[in-house]
Amino acid sequence: MLSSSIKQISRRLQSGEVTASELVENCLARAHQTKDLNAFVTITADLAREQAQQSDERRRQGQPLGPLDGVPVSVKDNFCVRGAPTTCGSRMLAEFRPPYTASVVRRLLRAGACLIGKTNLDEFGMGVGTVDSFFGPTKNVWGSNVKYKLRYKYGEPATDPPVPPRDSDEDFYIPGGSSGGSAVSVASGSSFVALGSDTGGSVRNPAASCGLVGLKPSYGLLSRHGLVPLVHSMDAPGLLARTVADAALVFDLLSAPDALDSTCVAEARTPVALAERCSARGLVVGVPREYHCPGVDSQVLDAWEAAAAELAAGGATVRQVSLPHTQHSIACYSVLNAAEVASNMARYDGVEFGFRSTEHASTEAMYADGRRRALNEVVRGRVLAGNYFLLRRHYDDYMVQAMRVRRLIQRDFELAWRAGCHLLLTPVTLTDGHLHSEFVQRDSRTNTAALDYCTQPANMAGVPAVSLPVRLSSRGLPISLQLMAPPLGERRLLAAARWLERRLAFPRLELV
Ligand code: GLN
């Protein structure tokens, strides 16, 4: 039951086969049983129970209920939830309890969802592995000590998976990041869907590593009120779900104008409302040649080719396209990200927000000591770099240049749409995953930035993108592919993803 889709569980709630309270207890027990994975910073058990009781009461009264009513969900710990800890994975906010709730979370709760907990992340969302949290790393379920089976079709028996190799029992596969806790909470069955945030790939990357569907909507479609900012010009709330239909369903519930976020698209939305039957016929799908990048694994390339062939066999026109500035996206991101991070982090002075040092020699000394103690090396490095880029004497060379290159990257996408492409098909991650031991050994700052190669341009251009698991690698880890669409093109994007999902039939992981 805990690995079913929202649609399936919603039917069971409706038929009375299970109550919301029972479901919440099961998810809390699962979260407890898988505590070693460290998916949660905070488990909001009281809140979840209270919401479940209210949902059961509404159902008893015969009120008309939506599909999310009584369904357990989780939220990345950089979305504010009134009264609950909202740490951003940082010591800086370890004690922070916001006085208000993020708009997207409010919409989830208003739809009747029950909040199981706040999930772990790389500090302030800076990372690709969920290895850099003050609360310790999150472990992937895939290849973990937790026993699981794979089910290819609902109703068919689950089978034993290949066992991804590890040299020691202490080592583990990372879940990707930075929304790794959200991904693991859904993959392990503690929640049916989770909110993440995506600035350079932080929803799609962990979705890919955990065999889930990851949706990064168009820039500005989902409200960011109450999402602690990383990079204002790129941040997008996103979803980690088990099926494309679930992602579409929750996306439709969350997507609405919000007077509290001036960057939120003001027009009313047409719901994605996925049809039962989607088709690939008539689609024009571009395969950008620049995504054949250095370091991309041959198994990922094979999966990519196979999916393109599948689309062609289903009646789509698949053509090679060029997005010539792709290779500059990461360098450009490194500048814009650091600059925005430097200004966004300025609020954590230990006076208004954040950890307060006991250093009293001067105000400056107090700021410096608090920030040194409470921000990790990655965050401090970006603040330093960002302030360097923002210096008057450097501004033209770095900021202005990066903003120009960003326009060129956006134009690459515009030209592809104008040339008739409805969608673009690319890898998400370069490989099928990483062991923690290998990941932390790299020269992390430079090498990990490159891991966003395939996901980051979508944030640069503001286009919607979805990460879809397509097959297992030879060592038994998920391999995923990405589809991208023009801004506000979620409907076609998700319909095509759903079509591919059916054709490629990636298995669902079930704990035993
Ligand atoms: N890996 C990128 C970074 O560290 C993107 C993170 C994100 O999308 N939040 O900034």
pLDDT band at 411 (very low <50, low <70, confident <90, very high): very high
Q: What is the CATH number of the domain that holds 66?
A: 3.90.1300.10
Quick one: pLDDT at residue 450? 85
CA 181 – CA 140 distance, rounded (Å): 9
Work out the widest C-alpha separation in the chain, in whole angstroms. 71
Counting atoms of ligand 1 from 1, which one is nearest the CA of 378?
Answer: 4
Domain boundary among 407, 423, 439: 407
Co-location of 74 and 175 in the same domain: yes
Domain presence at residue 342: yes
pLDDT tens sequence across 5-42: 999 999 999 999 999 999 999 999 999 999 999 999 99
Q: Mean pLDDT, to the nearest integer, of 183-195?
A: 98
Co-location of 381 and 449 in the same domain: no
For residue 227, the 8-state DSSP code is B
76 flagged as catalytic = yes
- Centroid of chain to Cα 391: 32
Q: From 122, 340, 447, give the residue whose CB has the most ligand 1 atoms within 8 Å, as the site to mutate.
A: 122
Average pLDDT, the chain: 96
Co-location of 89 and 178 in the same domain: yes
CA 338 / ligand 1 centre spacing (Å): 11
Domain presence at residue 352: yes
pLDDT band at 156 (very low <50, low <70, confident <90, very high): confident
178 flagged as catalytic = yes
Domain boundary among 407, 437, 461: 407
Residue 139 to residues 154, 171, 178, Cα–Cα distance (Å): 26, 9, 12
Domain presence at residue 199: yes
Quick one: pLDDT at residue 153? 83
Nearest to 480 by CA among 221, 214, 89, 294: 214
Domain boundary among 356, 384, 407: 407
Quick one: pLDDT at residue 445? 56
Co-location of 97 and 235 in the same domain: yes
pLDDT tens sequence across 88-121: 999 999 999 999 999 999 999 999 999 999 999 9
pLDDT tens sequence across 285-307: 999 999 999 899 999 999 999 99
Q: Mean pLDDT, to the nearest integer, of 69-95?
A: 98
pLDDT band at 277 (very low <50, low <70, confident <90, very high): confident
Domain presence at residue 1: no
pLDDT tens sequence across 244-276: 999 999 999 999 999 999 999 999 899 998 887
Counting atoms of ligand 1 from 1, which one is nearest the CA of 205?
Answer: 8
Provide the domain limits for residue 201.
6-324+413-511
Quick one: pLDDT at residue 441? 83
pLDDT tens sequence across 352-376: 889 999 988 999 999 999 999 999 9
